[in-house]
Structure 1
Amino acid sequence: MKKIFGLLLVVLAVFAIASCVSEPAPKKDSPLDATVAYPPKILEHKGTAWGANPPAWLMEALKGYKFVERMADYQGKIVVIVEQDGESREGAELAASRLDAIPRISTLMGLRVKDTFAGAQVGDKDKIETYMERVVKVASETRFSGFMMEDSWWTYLQTYTPEGKADKRTYRVIQLWTMSKAALEKQLDSILKGEAANEPKTPEKERAIQAVQNAFYEGF
């Protein structure tokens, strides 16, 4: 949630970026709001030199990855948003691309599998809880092949202390990674079927597993 909230603050600030840097005005204390949150201020971003606004996918990503997947440019693709902070732009970009992207993609795929199981409208799911747990675990540890970085955006931020004083300056890199749904489904099918083979076979479990597998991609 921190990363999503940080991404929201960054993108909204892009459209209100000022030509000069100043500390935010102090906010009056309120008995209902003793803690004041000072969002980071954008000093520069990828489009500053050309007067360009953030790409449409970045704005849709604020609402969730599925909103990006519904865009015309990303129909038939699975989307993952990777975010990385760093003292230098090059360092943040390198970390996002090589260090953070692959494990983050695996983690997010595991979460998507877990959410898909939770939302599956099939009966007898309680009979295959261990099966679903194993699938989630394997998916979160799998390095899915086929993901590529399609686009990226960076911002240079001035951060503030809880008291509103200027703190560190940092670069934030946000990358859009995609993969064709067909290619991902092939790899997920292998996990779903592989773990099903390890499940003790009973008629009830086999029916429940088959029902979950049949409905799996409806909510993925």
Structure 2
Amino acid sequence: MDMTVAYPPKILEHRGTAWGANPPQWLMESLKGYKYVERMPDYQDKFVVIVEQDGESREGAELAASRLDAITRISTLMGLRVKDTFAGAQVGDKDKIETYMERVVKIMSETKFAGFMMEDSWWTFLQTYTPEGKPDKRAYRVMQLWTISKEALTKQLNDILKGEAAVEPKTPEKERAIQAVQNAFYEGF
């Protein structure tokens, strides 16, 4: 989901090029991954989602971005982020709670989280690179910066984690494993 990009895209042109303006710092950091944006002082108390829409022309990318359902896209990206967090969690025997984790990922992917706001949107013309660092494609991309306070999202995530734990068949081993997942959840999130 948000792996550090070995060869981030290069911006060839952007919304501010004609006026000699630099792209915003959040955009530059987002090319490396959303976690880089979350480390910026303005976003340390927020969860960040970068919604992207590519197109063959600037107008096409902007039109598609204006029509996309960002909240649905955010839900999908949150589900992937949760899946990645579960995959990296060091909680012992995950087999005992595999169905719990699968249900949580599914629900996160379908939940319309309340409180996300689009803070900025910026079009770019990018040169992308292969994993080996060779030039790949050029594309127009509209990048939207969506944020939510950590407090607001944490409450919603906790409700889902606890709600799904409540329907899980109870055994001492499962309860310990679920508790370990919940305790470790925000370390990698």
TM-score normalised to the size of structure 2? Answer: 0.81
**Is the alpha carbon distance of 1:198 and 1:94 closer, same or farther for their aligned partners in structure 2, counting shifts above 3 Å?**
farther
Contact 1:84-1:100 at 8 Å conserved across structures: no
Report deviation, 1:45. Answer: 2.7
> 123, 129, 144: which one pairs with 2:113?
144
Do structure 1's residue 77 and structure 2's residue 39 form an aligned pair? no
> 175, 181, 185: which one pairs with 1:216?
185
Do structure 1's residue 99 and structure 2's residue 68 form an aligned pair? yes
Residue equivalent to 1:9: 9
Contact 2:89-2:184 at 8 Å conserved across structures: yes
Question: Counterparts of 1:180-191 in structure 2 under 5 Å?
Answer: 180-191=149-160
**Is the alpha carbon distance of 1:84 and 1:136 closer, same or farther for their aligned partners in structure 2, counting shifts above 3 Å?**
same
CA distance in 2, matches of 1:137, 1:58: 29
Contact 2:8-2:32 at 8 Å conserved across structures: no
Report deviation, 1:195. Answer: 0.7
Superposed CA deviations along residues 96-151 of structure 1, whole A, max 9, x for unmatched, are 35524112111110011111111112223221011001000100111111111111
Query: Matched residue of 1:123: which SS?
Result: coil
CA distance in 1, matches of 2:141, 2:32: 19
Superposed CA deviations along residues 22-73 of structure 1, whole A, max 9, x for unmatched, are xxxxxxxxxxxxxxxxxxxxxx531023101111111111211101100111
Query: Matched residue of 1:206: which SS?
Result: helix
Amino acid at match of 1:49: A
Residue equivalent to 2:143: 174
Report deviation, 1:155. Answer: 3.2
Asked which structure has the greater RCO (Cα within 8 Å, sep 6+), the reply is 2
Gaps of 5+ in 2: 128-137
Query: Matched residue of 1:84: which SS?
Result: strand
CA distance in 1, matches of 2:49, 2:179: 28
**Is the alpha carbon distance of 1:156 and 1:202 closer, same or farther for their aligned partners in structure 2, counting shifts above 3 Å?**
closer
**Is the alpha carbon distance of 1:9 and 1:124 closer, same or farther for their aligned partners in structure 2, counting shifts above 3 Å?**
closer
Report deviation, 1:95. Answer: 3.9
Task: Calculate percent identity across the aligned residue pairs.
Answer: 84
**Is the alpha carbon distance of 1:170 and 1:219 closer, same or farther for their aligned partners in structure 2, counting shifts above 3 Å?**
closer
TM-score normalised to the size of structure 1? Answer: 0.71
CA distance in 2, matches of 1:94, 1:147: 21
Gaps of 5+ in 1: 15-43, 159-168
Amino acid at match of 1:132: M
Query: Matched residue of 2:23: which SS?
Result: coil
Equivalences, count: 176
Contact 2:9-2:126 at 8 Å conserved across structures: no
Residue equivalent to 2:86: 117
